[in-house]
Chains A and B, each alone.
Chain A
Amino acid sequence: MADQSAHPAKDPLARIAAPAITSADATPVRQRRAGAAARILSGPLPWLLPALGVLGLFYLYPIFEAVRLAFTDARLFDTETQLSMRSISSMVGSSTLGVILRNTLTYTVASVVGQIALGLAIALLVMRAERARLRGTLALRTIVLAAWVIPAIANGIIWQLLFSEAPFGAINSALRLMGVAPVAWLSDPSNAMTSAVIATIWQGTAYSMILLYAALKTIDPALYEAAAIDNARPWERFWFITLPHLRAALVVNAILILIMTLNMFDTILALTGGGPGRATEILSLYAYGTVFQNFELGRGAALSMLLLVISLGLTVVLIALLPRDRR
């Protein structure tokens, strides 16, 4: 910028000159009061208080309350509660919990691995296309990202329309046109989980793609030029240059989408509602149903604490995988 007056800092700086002059003729009383206010405002507390107050009220307090409720036999519309281990013992003792945890594990691992793998593949493809100056990379990135913007609840509805087993369902009617037998995408318990994972990956991949693309951009091209001089094969460049440099980004990415997937609720609710039977019922849906359909508040609170403990535990495990300087 050649013209100094175009600098964005100029305007606010010009405005601040005025109070500096007028403060000289302020009365001593006002000055003292302003001084006290300034002293308080120079500390961090008043700046942090509004945000921390809201977080305390709507996050910290509920977590303590959930822990307390887990040790009661509370029901949703019953104010009388007694301290009791019944909620926790019935949760641990129920045979359903095993099914739910296995579903949660399958769904989470498959979705997270799928999103990272596909996101990395697209990011590498876009990098390769940009290096060759091919057209359409921006269009591809925009299309993939658009899926991420679609509300998860709408995502579930869209995929229900696609997987629909009615004669006019998108995928099945297309298969029939090609002479292939239709598939029971949602009504067959062994297919339903795969369908839920596909819908989740379709929507979530964009996030991994963008994070990994940004990380790929930071790798020094000179490393690849040196590798080319050494006649390194493409997979050697990927294994010895790309992957080690992506380690931090991959772990951060894994943590973020692991949490999102573990807590996923909307897509599965709209797609399968957890069914057929309990085939796609993961922990979040189970906790919701326990509280808001069976009104077992104590047991639901215990289940939600289990979800929180699993999230935090897995995060700690993943942080340990970060390179030392990034921890």
Chain B
Amino acid sequence: MVRSRAERVADWAVYAAMLVLALAFLLPVLWLASLSVRTQAEVFLGAARFIPEAPTLDNFVRVLRDGGFQSYIWNTVKLASLGAAGAVALAAPAAYALSRMAFRGKGPLMLGILSVQMVSGLVVLIPLYRFMDRLGLLESHFGTTLLYIAAGIPVTIWLLKVSFDAVPRSLDDAAAIDGLSRVESFVLITLPLALPGLISAFILNLILNWSQFLIPFIMLSADDKWPISVAIFRFAGSTSAATTQLLAAACLLAILPALAIFVILQRYILAALTAGAVKE
């Protein structure tokens, strides 16, 4: 098909708009990267040295050598993955029941689970602070992980229900005829077939947990227990202009793992984001 002149002009306008948008979304991160490889002297030259003349990895070396930083990363990995695994493990049976069983009050229950997402973490953390303190769970990774799991459960139930719904029921019926119990048919048939959905849900939880700030910020006051999100916030509050390049390096290192997971597993994340929210 030959494209008309007007269409070709429009194509160039679309290209131009795409370029502007790409730059608008890239530049903030590139600026962070630029600051992170500068010497202190070049930081003070601002935008004139967007591409530094004397780039250095010294800032990263200093941040990575810091024992504190290593513990922040380890704490984040631990909290994020245990929280994600716990949320998927607890949500999967519930999602299976909502997908396969008919019972009274199912509709309101599903609506109730959905509306839990409307509740801000702050609303529950204010009363939970004393409750967790009394249980001895304040200042502990165990108690913090429980809250990560709770925060992840509602959205995980919804995601998993959608992927369980996609597994044909006839397989369940065939399994029942073969004498399989509900549990066996859930573990041996539904779960393996819904594996992509389980992976999507786990990864979405992982990324949300990597970003989680409020729960550890309120639960954990000891430096050695902090995940990276709390650590860089505290660091940002204590830095001066002289250490801007170190803050930039630490900040970049904090977001890189999340960005890497995202770029590698984009397909799964998009599936998780759009599941349920958009129907045909």
Which residues of A approach B to under 8 Å, CB–CB?
8-9, 11-13, 15-17, 19-20, 23, 34, 38, 41-44, 46-48, 50-52, 54-55, 57-59, 61-63, 65-66, 69, 76, 122, 125, 128-129, 132, 134, 136-137, 139-140, 142-147, 149-154, 157-162, 166-170, 172-174, 176-177, 202, 207, 210-211, 214-215, 218, 249, 252-253, 256, 259, 262-263, 265-266, 269-270, 284, 287-288, 291-292, 297, 300-301, 304-305, 307-308, 311-312, 315, 326
Q: Do residues B180 and A16 form an inter-chain contact, with CB atoms below 8 A?
A: yes
* Residue from B94, B129, B183, B213 in contact with A76 in the complex, judged by beta carbons closer than 8 Å: B129
* Residue from A157, A172, A210, A300 in contact with B274 in the complex, judged by beta carbons closer than 8 Å: A210
CA distance A218 to B279 in the complex (A): 9
Q: Which residues of A contact B251 (CB under 8 A)?
A: 154, 157-158
Q: Which residues of B contact A34 (CB under 8 A)?
A: 181
Q: Do residues B126 and A301 form an inter-chain contact, with CB atoms below 8 A?
A: yes
Q: Do residues B120 and A263 form an inter-chain contact, with CB atoms below 8 A?
A: yes
Besides A13-B189, A48-B109, A132-B3, 11 other A-B contacts (C-beta < 8 A)? A8-B192, A12-B188, A55-B154, A134-B11, A136-B15, A140-B22, A150-B255, A153-B213, A166-B241, A176-B46, A308-B118
Q: Do residues B118 and A312 form an inter-chain contact, with CB atoms below 8 A?
A: yes
Indicate if B51 sits at the interface (CB-CB under 8 A): no
What secondary structure prevails in chain B residues at the interface with A? Answer: helix
Indicate if B122 sits at the interface (CB-CB under 8 A): yes
With contacts A136-B18, A152-B211, A169-B46 taken as known, whether A304 is within 8 angstroms of B120 at the C-beta atoms is yes
With contacts A132-B14, A266-B213 taken as known, whether A308 is within 8 angstroms of B262 at the C-beta atoms is no
Q: Which residues of A contact B35 (CB under 8 A)?
A: 161
Across the interface, name the chain B residue whose C-beta is closest to A269: B233
Q: Do residues B44 and A168 form an inter-chain contact, with CB atoms below 8 A?
A: yes
Q: Which residues of A contact B258 (CB under 8 A)?
A: 149-151
Q: Which residues of B contact A151 (CB under 8 A)?
A: 210-211, 213, 229, 254-255, 258
Q: Which residues of B contact A41 (CB under 8 A)?
A: 181-183
With contacts A16-B188, A41-B183, A301-B127 taken as known, whether A47 is within 8 angstroms of B94 at the C-beta atoms is yes
Q: Which residues of A contact B28 (CB under 8 A)?
A: 147, 158-159, 162, 202
Q: Which residues of A contact B278 (CB under 8 A)?
A: 211, 214-215, 218, 249, 252
Q: Do residues A62 and B131 form an inter-chain contact, with CB atoms below 8 A?
A: yes
CA distance A149 to B277 in the complex (A): 19
Q: Which residues of B contact A58 (CB under 8 A)?
A: 124, 128, 146-147, 150
Q: Do residues A265 and B46 form an inter-chain contact, with CB atoms below 8 A?
A: no
Q: Which residues of A contact B93 (CB under 8 A)?
A: 46-48, 50-51
Q: Which residues of B contact A44 (CB under 8 A)?
A: 97-98, 101, 103, 106
Q: Which residues of B contact A11 (CB under 8 A)?
A: 192
